[in-house]
Structure 1
Amino acid sequence: MSLKIVVASNNRGKLAEFSQLLGERFKLLSQGELQVEEVEENGLSFVENALLKARNAALQTGLPALADDSGLCVDALGGAPGIYSARYAGAGASDADNNSKLIHDLKGIGERRAHFHCALVFVRHPEDPAPIICEGRWPGEIVDQARGDNGFGYDPHFYIPELKQCAAELPAEQKNRLSHRGRAVAQLVQRLQSEFPRR
């Protein structure tokens, strides 16, 4: 029997990635399906925000909860957009708006190193004193010209030098294996498998 976990996100792309990565062992439900009211993300780090979201979803559903907070950190911008990646160009900003602001802010700057960061938090219940926390990091560079039609967010501008491709040019399976989220989920799968062994 698969363990039900509520995913503290309404992002369909993210839910699809998690479902692919976690396989059939766990039944993932989005918090939207369960009418979970979103919590204010007022932490100052990816881990703090993921923990807020996971505890909130667990509290409102009575289920174990998984939350991630992830984003793009650009060295030349002091780590921005960072935890504000989804709303870099303002509340309700589209991916195109955020990408446009990013390229604008990097105008004239030669140093383009960046990384995607993912903090994944799993709580067994809302007051879980020992949440499972896994983090992944994916290094790359920012390019002005968008490339590729896969992925979402900043993927079309996130260039991986060793592959000579942007994240949005990679097939989903390859991206899921290499990405910040893929790296964090790989750790999480190991932790969950030892915690919830097959019977």
Structure 2
Amino acid sequence: MTRVLLATRNAKKLTELRRILAAANVSGVEIVGLADVPEFPDAPETGATFEENALAKARDAARETGLPSIADDSGLAVDALNGMPGVLSARWAGRHGDDQANLDLVLGQLTDVPDDRRGAAFVCTVAYVVPDGGETVLRAEWRGRLVREPRGGNGFGYDPIFVPDGHDRTSAELAPEEKDALSHRARALRMLLPHLDRGAITVD
């Protein structure tokens, strides 16, 4: 059994990755989070791109723990806001991780934007770093539009206002298995699976 670190303290991200690995019949790997390893200082997210932030987090985690490490940086790119909040998505309202404040701010900024111009995309970049074994960085997007009122109790972040293309429910109204089939993070993680063999993982 090989331990792979997902460099996050977000329990929902850990659960999501474990579901995706199980659905893909990945064996020989135990996914652990930052709460499962000795604590080390979090590097600030100072990169100008999702790729820079994800790679920095994965490098730090691999260096500090000696474990093959996965890190992601993701966010919402709103067409009418010129791609923002982008890499600032988690702290758009000023305090990191205040989902409700971030969501409220985006909705407020879009108050006068008509429905046909409320396009957006969730973006996820995933980095996989193996100590002394190389690096992989992958990116996926999930296009959709933003509604005017939050709907649904699943998911987190901007999920309650994001309706994927081809659907009429928000991401927060989708069942977990539905979201796993569609989401930006799930797509990026599935793209990563073939690269995990560097961590001595077998994929059936």
TM range (shorter): over 0.9
- 1:22 deviates by 1.9
Q: Which amino acid aligns with 2:171?
A: A
Q: Within the alignment, does 1:145 sit opposite 2:144 as a pair?
A: no
Which runs of 5 or more residues in structure 1 are unaligned? none
Q: How many matched pairs?
A: 196
Partners of 2:104 and 2:202 in 1: how far apart? 47
Pair 197,60 (structure 1): closer, same or farther in 2 beyond 3 Å: closer
- 1:195 deviates by 6.7
Query: TM-score, length-normalised on structure 2?
Result: 0.90
C-alpha RMSD of matched pairs (Å): 1.8
2:100 counterpart (87, 90, 96)? 96
Q: Residue 34 of structure 2 corresponds to which residue in structure 1?
A: 31
Q: Matched residue of 1:90: which SS?
A: coil
Q: Which amino acid aligns with 2:147?
A: V
Answer with 27-36 or 74-83: which moved more. Answer: 27-36
Identity %: 38
Q: Matched residue of 1:120: which SS?
A: strand
Partners of 2:53 and 2:99 in 1: how far apart? 20
Pair 73,18 (structure 1): closer, same or farther in 2 beyond 3 Å: same
Answer with 89-98 or 64-73: which moved more. Answer: 89-98
- 1:193 deviates by 4.5
Partners of 2:179 and 2:55 in 1: how far apart? 25
2:90 counterpart (75, 86, 91)? 86
Q: Residue 175 of structure 2 corresponds to which residue in structure 1?
A: 171
CA contact (8 A) 2:130 2:198 kept: no
CA contact (8 A) 2:69 2:130 kept: yes
Q: Matched residue of 1:83: which SS?
A: helix
The runs of at least 4 aligned residues of structure 1 exceeding 6 Å deviation read: none
- CA offset digits 1:126-167 (Å, max 9, x no partner): x65x41112111000011111111111100000124121100
Answer with 154-163 or 40-49: which moved more. Answer: 154-163
Pair 12,195 (structure 1): closer, same or farther in 2 beyond 3 Å: closer
Partners of 2:166 and 2:140 in 1: how far apart? 18
- Structure scoring higher RCO (CA < 8 A, sep ≥ 6) equals 2
Which runs of 5 or more residues in structure 2 are unaligned? none
Q: Residue 120 of structure 1 corresponds to which residue in structure 2?
A: 126
Q: Which amino acid aligns with 2:20?
A: L
CA contact (8 A) 2:54 2:73 kept: yes
Query: TM-score, length-normalised on structure 1?
Result: 0.92
Q: Which amino acid aligns with 1:178?
A: L
